[in-house]
Amino acid sequence: MTSIATEELTRYRMLIGGEHVDSVGGASFTSTDPYTERPWAEAPDGTADDVDAAVAAARAALSGPWGELTAARRGRILRRVGDLLEEHAERLARIETRDSGRLLSEMRSMAGYIPEWFYYYAGLADKIEGTTIPSDKPGFLVYTRLRAIGVVGAIVPWNSPLLLLAMKLAPALAAGCTVVVKPSDYTPASALEVADLLAEAGIPPGVVNVVTGFGPTAGRALAAHPGIDKITFTGSTRTGIDVAHSAADSLTRVSLELGGKSPQVVFADADLDAAANGIVAGVFAASGQNCMAGSRVIVHRDVHDALMTKVAERAAAITLGDPNDPATDMGPLANRTQLDRVLGYCASAREQGARVLYGGAQPDLGGFFVQPTVITGASPEMDVVREEVFGPVVAALPFDTESEAVALANDTPYGLAGAVWTKDVHRAHRVADRIDAGTVWINAYRALAPGVPFGGVKHSGIGRENGVEAIRQYTETKSVWVELTGESRDPFAR
């Protein structure tokens, strides 16, 4: 078993080569419940030696039974994975809430939807096709094949660990890869729980391995490992750059889903109630701990005050509390480091001359709570506008013209997501096209689906998760030339 429950802690073990093991060094660390501020789980503190063992197990599995399976058979196993995730969704949601502080209601919804990633890629597994290419040289048949890229290192963050793990595992397994997972040290539990369900579904030992531990040790060892063929990382831009540097020495391929500072552009003709709802969903859901949080509201000056008053009223009505309580609208931040970071941005906004319309403080609730915060009077150079806060903080900037709105939207090193709020269909498509982002919603925010590519431009990342496009991240193209005439082709014949 992955875990052993005691009165004090749930004790987890890593999964390497189908075996539940402790760290080679014997050390462990605890995961803290963000609501109670008490440790609730313990996991091994993985080392470079543990990463070596996991990569070796994944390499052996690649040339073992997993590598010999037909694509159709892989698809059937992935469908079984989806069924088991659906069956255990409630338990996984409760574990995720305990580990990350996210609302149980939100985690139930997310855990209930995660099986769709495995169903989608189960159907795609036997449709990973090459092409036949007309040759400009007579007497040749030329075709391509897509082959599994090999052993994948998947580094997963703490904000939505179950979902972000599924977004990596499902396409990697569909492509025929094997995987070594390094979950965040803040939220190690769900990856270990899911690994057991994968084994129960029929995925052979060593195909998916989980090494828990810290970024500077286990994470860096995985990113730099010469036995890894590809690294897929989700997390901060700063850490993503470190991962890319570590992978570069081995020319390991990388895909990076990184930070964001996403704009929500609201025009004067927008439905302000709908826009207020979108802003609330975009930045206060998940306590703002979301890479695609719509944390910059770029709003036409004519409706600026009316819209931001609506948003502030909504923020004031948000109920903070126990994430397991159905009456709670927003739970705590995931850890104390994040709490201090968010409060620091609120303080700097005040110091730099912005107005906090609502929030900006830590309520007297215990736990790692911060009030939902609405900031106006901001300017483009302020820290709260330039940098990713990763908390429930939204800053508003007024504009007068469409060109000014687009310029403000693109005035950021990031380019993950954005939104356009308007009733003018021509303007909606025109502005969506001009926003530099991997995803743009029109009159909506925060919709995702397994079949729709997701990822960023600029400092928000490299590559795409989800959709058919994600399969390309886990495959290599092989070109095959077949001589058809059967004749000898003497290269020196005159």
Q: What is the mean predicted confidence (pLDDT) over 414-430?
A: 98
Place of tokens 């025009």: 267
Q: Are residues 433 and 306 in the same domain?
A: yes
Q: Are residues 249 and 387 in the same domain?
A: no
**Alpha-carbon span 88 to 100, nearest angstrom:** 18
Q: Are residues 307 and 244 in the same domain?
A: no
pLDDT digits (tens, 9 = 90+) for 163-209: 999 999 999 999 999 999 999 999 999 999 999 999 999 999 999 99
Domain extent for 397: 263-442
Residue 151 confidence (pLDDT): 98
Given the residues 106, 257, 388, 465, select the one marked as catalytic: 257
Q: Are residues 275 and 404 in the same domain?
A: yes
Residue 491 confidence (pLDDT): 85
Q: Are residues 16 and 136 in the same domain?
A: yes
Q: Are residues 374 and 461 in the same domain?
A: no
pLDDT digits (tens, 9 = 90+) for 18-64: 999 999 999 999 999 999 999 999 999 999 999 999 999 999 999 99
Given the residues 177, 193, 291, 465, select the one marked as catalytic: 291
Q: Where residue 108 sits, what CATH number does that domain have?
A: 3.40.605.10
Q: Are residues 219 and 118 in the same domain?
A: yes
Q: Is 90 a catalytic residue?
A: no
Please indicate, yes or no, if residue 450 is contained in any of the structural domains: no
Please indicate, yes or no, if residue 159 is contained in any of the structural domains: yes
**DSSP character at residue 379:** -
How many domains does the chain contain in total? 2
Those residues with Cβ within 8 angstroms of residue 298's Cβ, 6 or more apart along the chain or in another chain? 263, 264, 265, 266, 396, 397, 399, 405, 408, 409
Q: Does the pLDDT of residue 6 top 90, yes or no?
A: no
Q: DSSP of 215-266, one letter per residue?
A: IIIIIHHHHH-TT-SEEEEES-HHHHHHHHHHHHTTT-EEEEE-----EEEE
Q: Are residues 204 and 67 in the same domain?
A: yes
Using DSSP's 3-state secondary structure scheme, residue 99 falls into: helix
Please indicate, yes or no, if residue 489 is contained in any of the structural domains: no
Please indicate, yes or no, if residue 494 is contained in any of the structural domains: no
Q: Are residues 269 and 370 in the same domain?
A: yes
Q: Are residues 90 and 186 in the same domain?
A: yes
Q: Where residue 319 sits, what CATH number does that domain have?
A: 3.40.309.10
Please indicate, yes or no, if residue 250 is contained in any of the structural domains: yes
Q: Are residues 219 and 302 in the same domain?
A: no
pLDDT digits (tens, 9 = 90+) for 59-116: 999 999 999 999 999 999 999 999 999 999 999 999 999 999 999 999 999 999 999 9
Q: Is 291 a catalytic residue?
A: yes
Q: Are residues 184 and 327 in the same domain?
A: no
Q: What is the mean predicted confidence (pLDDT) over 299-327?
A: 97
pLDDT digits (tens, 9 = 90+) for 462-476: 999 999 999 999 999
Please indicate, yes or no, if residue 387 is contained in any of the structural domains: yes
